[in-house]
Amino acid sequence: MIATIPYIESKFDEFNRLIFDDRLPRLPIRLSKARTFLGACTFKKRRTMFGKIVCYDFVLRISTCFDLTERELEDIIIHEMIHYHICINRLEDTSVHGRLFRQMMGDINKKYGRNISISHRSTAVRHDGAASGRICWHVVAVLSFHDGRTGIKVLPHISRGILKYCKGVSGVREVRSVDLYMSDDVFFCRFPRSSALRVHYLDAADITGHLADAKKIECRGEEIMWKMR
């Protein structure tokens, strides 16, 4: 999806209530054509007569150059809201993405099941790769959870890594089932490829649509079996 100002405003209000106790003042929102960032919280600085640095003229900027999933766009908005929270409350951090930022990010990811990361750069690179039209095959694990959620994980093209991931997530109590597919849909270019035990939550209908022409993969013991759907 491509970001719009009404959508960003509604998500800002939603996450402000849910995560930040409704303490973040609304700020101007601008759409950008930049390909160098996905989101940015910009502001100006001035020094008071007492030597303190004051930040002002905050603006939340979101790029419209990338077709993001709703989850990705939400995570980008929350990422920038963390910056905004730290700055308007004059909280000290060790760097732009220092200890405080990382602690808040980790707490939010754990509590709300998010996938917020330190940098948007890798997401932008993946989307640029998809936009270039290059054909690339992806091993996609589709996870169904007992609470009704559905997620995916793009895995490396290594049998041992695929099997290790499937065994690992199959032992998680919340996971109901794991299915594997091989797909050339450029949609999956936007997700990092690794065997880490993580998952990106998506709507089941979206996943099914992007896997319509995929090949089914089956794991039998220590072997990976392929068959056409």
Per-residue pLDDT of the chain (229 residues; tens, 9 = 90+): 889 999 999 999 999 999 999 999 999 999 988 776 788 898 888 887 777 878 889 999 998 887 888 898 999 999 999 999 999 998 988 887 888 999 999 999 999 999 888 766 545 555 555 444 455 788 999 999 998 889 898 988 777 788 888 888 888 888 899 899 988 876 787 677 887 877 888 888 878 888 888 888 876 655 555 443 3
Tokens representing 120?
């948007």
The 10 Å CB-count burial string (b at 16+, else e) for 29-67 is beebeeeebbbbbeeeeeeeeeeeeeeeebebbbbebbb
- Using DSSP bridges, classify how beta strands 150-155 and 138-145 pair: parallel, antiparallel or unpaired: antiparallel
Q: What H or E segment, with its residue span, contains residue 7? A: helix 5-18
- Residue ranges covered by each domain of the chain: 5-126, 136-227
The structure's pTM equals: 0.57
Tokens representing 35?
């390909």
CATH 3.30.2010.10 correct for 5-126: yes
Residue 7 C-alpha from the chain's centroid: 17
129-167 confidence digits (pLDDT tens): 544 445 578 899 999 999 888 989 898 877 778 888 888
Extract long-range pairs of 128-132: CB within 8 Å, 24+ residues apart: 128/35, 129/189, 130/186, 130/187, 130/189, 130/190
